[in-house]
């Protein structure tokens, strides 16, 4: 088995798609019927191994995701995204897994921008 899809919930699907495509550089790949028998856009980045499905939570409006986006340069991407209008709730900081910064998308899903680092290497 392998992880193929993750979900970003949002009440306003179009606003969510605009955020991920215009600010984060995702592209729309397809649409699938998944949640609440409604058509859900499928987004991707340069990695075609994992796709992001944008879905309306429907009756379960407390649904939210925690999405981790891998980066090779957290500081550069942090500043680029800030200039694009992304509001970070946590500035870049060192975590045990690496350098990370956090923001919320329009659907109130938490997104962690993570530059993985191995602090045990010499």
Structure confidence by residue, pLDDT tens digits, 3-23? 788 889 888 999 999 999 999
pLDDT at 84 over 70: yes
Instruction: Provide the pLDDT for residue 14.
Output: 94
The answer to whether the predicted template modeling score (pTM) of the entire model surpasses 0.85 is: no
In the predicted model, what is the mean pLDDT of residues 91-105?
93
Strands 5-9 and 51-55: parallel
Instruction: Please name the residues in contact with 9: beta carbons below 8 A apart, sequence gap of 6 or more.
Output: 54, 55, 56, 57, 63, 64, 65, 107, 109
Structural domains present in the chain: 5-116 (3.10.180.10)
Distance of CA 22 to the CA centre of its chain: 13
Give the pLDDT band (50/70/90) at residue 41: very high
3-state helix, strand, coil in the chain (%, to 5): 20, 40, 40
């Amino acid at each position: 088995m392998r992880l193929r899809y993750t979900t970003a919930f949002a009440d306003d699907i179009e606003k969510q798609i605009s955020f991920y495509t215009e600010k984060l550089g995702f592209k729309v790949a397809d649409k699938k019927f998944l949640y609440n028998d409604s058509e859900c856009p499928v987004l991707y980045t340069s990695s075609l191994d994992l796709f992001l499905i944008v879905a309306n939570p429907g009756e379960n409006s407390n649904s939210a995701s925690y999405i981790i986006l891998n980066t090779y340069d957290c500081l550069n991407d942090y500043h680029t995204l800030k200039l694009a209008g992304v509001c970070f709730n946590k500035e870049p900081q060192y975590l045990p897994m690496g350098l990370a910064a956090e923001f919320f998308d329009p659907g109130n899903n938490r997104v962690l921008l993570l530059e993985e680092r191995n602090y045990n290497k010499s």
